[in-house]
Amino acid sequence: MTIQAEWKQKVLERECLIGVIGLGYVGLPLISAFFNKKYTALGFDVDPSKIEALNQGQSYIKHISSEEVSSWRDAGQFEATADLSRLSEPDVLLICVPTPLSDSRDPDLTYVEQTTRSIAKVLRPGQLIVLESTTYPTTTRDVMLPILEESGLKVGQDFFLAYSPEREDPGNVDFTAAGIPKVVGGHDPVSLELAVALYSQAIVQVVPVSSCEVAEACKILENTYRAVNIALVNELKMLFDRMGIDIWEVIDAAKTKPFGFQAFYPGPGLGGHCIPIDPFYLTWLARKQGLTTRFIELAGEVNSFMPEYVITRLAEFLNDRSKPIKGSKILLLGVAYKKDVDDPRESPSFILMEELLKRGAELSYNDPHVPRLPKMRHHDLPEMASVELSPEILTAQDCVLIATDHSAYDYEFIVKHSNMVLDTRNATVDVADHRERILKA
């Protein structure tokens, strides 16, 4: 029996061990998808606190419950480890590590490269390696493959290599990892065949494409599409604000058109692990090809400007009441990058907080999903804890700034007890009373 035939048989019989590297917002939902189909998984992470929590049946991600993690452990189908020498044990290694930007806005593939080198040290015949981390086209072929072949094994013959971009949407209860179609590109036909066979067992639909490069480019297109359209409505928001036109009402009217329009919404800036970052992968790649992506770069400029626009609107709002930002008490609602999640990555709230502190504001925050302000690589903020939303605390503020529109917030209550509310998310649209206290930004 050939390696690939033996491997596919193990997949079909649920006898293959799934290894997931990077136990965060992508890795844990992926484990859940395979566990629900009776596969056994071995999780890898370099953070010992994550390993300890998972092996005790505790989750640190809101949409993966501790009860679910406990069920993995109690069934004997999951273990977490920081021991990278065990990377030889799984039949499949799914890589879900961060791919941030450097300070110069270039792709930082440090985690991908380090993970690949760890795999190469123990790579054995028959293993399938799949990169799921968002990256630019050619990463799998030009960055990962040369490192893996340092093992002396040959791709498509001894081991197999593919790329399948994650499509996680934290907080969206309509889509789980298993319920979102999976694009898969293989380095070679056999690698594609095996990767499709694997994902087909756990994912609702698998979409094979002709190469890793097509799959990599697909992910970049998806998120650049969103970034560009969000930039469009952000720019229109600034124009319509000046004209006294409500951009949210405009969007609601436009989306009644049953064709040719998809609604995107403005906000205080872009957040999350993909949309603020992926377009820069593309502009970096274009520069390497001697081209410029002017349209995409312009969208990035518009979106990056939004926190500054919010601060300007706040200054105007306070100025109308004879108050400067300096010395004003500002309560920021929401530090997660989107509603109803505990994910703070690339949240524009951190930029807003930094700018408010620079301007001398007395700053506090509340977020029911983020009880303590996490340490962020690119933001220097003091240690802070989420404050209670009591009538006394709200009344004591000069302005309450809504940065993330969590469903847990009682906006009627917030507006009633606040002196001023700056709403960047249209969260107060249904609040009937005290409209004179609200400014949209």
Kindly report the CATH number assigned to the domain that includes residue 337. Answer: 3.40.50.720
Whether residue 250 sits in one domain with residue 374: yes
What is the reported pLDDT for 274?
58
Instruction: Say if 218 falls within a structural domain.
Output: no
Whether residue 236 sits in one domain with residue 148: no
What is the reported pLDDT for 408?
96
- Taking 80 as the threshold, does the pLDDT of residue 271 lie above it? no
- Domain range enclosing 321: 226-440
CA atoms of 268 and 405, how far apart (whole Å): 11
What is the reported pLDDT for 1?
66
pLDDT digits (tens, 9 = 90+) for 179-190: 899 999 999 999
Task: Give the catalytic positions in this structure.
Answer: 274
Instruction: Say if 215 falls within a structural domain.
Output: no
Instruction: Say if 77 falls within a structural domain.
Output: yes
Q: How many domains does the chain have?
A: 2
Whether residue 296 sits in one domain with residue 189: no
Mean predicted lDDT score pLDDT of the chain: 92
- Taking 70 as the threshold, does the pLDDT of residue 276 lie above it? no
Whether residue 253 sits in one domain with residue 199: no
Instruction: Say if 158 falls within a structural domain.
Output: yes
Asked whether the CA dihedral 68, 73, 78, 81 is positive or negative, the reply is positive
Instruction: Say if 353 falls within a structural domain.
Output: yes
Of 182, 210, 238, at which residue does a domain stop? 210
What is the reported pLDDT for 387?
97
- Taking 80 as the threshold, does the pLDDT of residue 69 lie above it? yes
Q: What is the mean pLDDT of residues 404-430?
A: 96
Q: What is the mean pLDDT of residues 350-363?
A: 96
Q: What percent of the chain has pLDDT over 70?
A: 97
Q: How confident is the model at residue 302 (pLDDT cuts 50, 70, 90)?
A: very high
Whether residue 309 sits in one domain with residue 204: no
Q: What tokens does 240 get?
A: 């319509």
- Taking 90 as the threshold, does the pLDDT of residue 297 lie above it? no
Whether residue 135 sits in one domain with residue 33: yes
Whether residue 192 sits in one domain with residue 251: no
Of 157, 184, 210, at which residue does a domain stop? 210
Instruction: Say if 219 falls within a structural domain.
Output: no
Whether residue 175 sits in one domain with residue 235: no
Whether residue 231 sits in one domain with residue 96: no
- Taking 90 as the threshold, does the pLDDT of residue 41 lie above it? yes
Instruction: Say if 309 falls within a structural domain.
Output: yes
Whether residue 242 sits in one domain with residue 198: no
Whether residue 395 sits in one domain with residue 310: yes
Of 210, 240, 272, at which residue does a domain stop? 210
Instruction: Say if 220 falls within a structural domain.
Output: no
Q: How confident is the model at residue 275 (pLDDT cuts 50, 70, 90)?
A: low
pLDDT digits (tens, 9 = 90+) for 374-413: 887 777 889 999 999 999 999 999 999 999 999 999 999 9
Q: Which of 415, 236, 421, 400 is nearest to 331 (CA)?
A: 400
- Taking 70 as the threshold, does the pLDDT of residue 434 lie above it? yes
Whether residue 203 sits in one domain with residue 105: yes
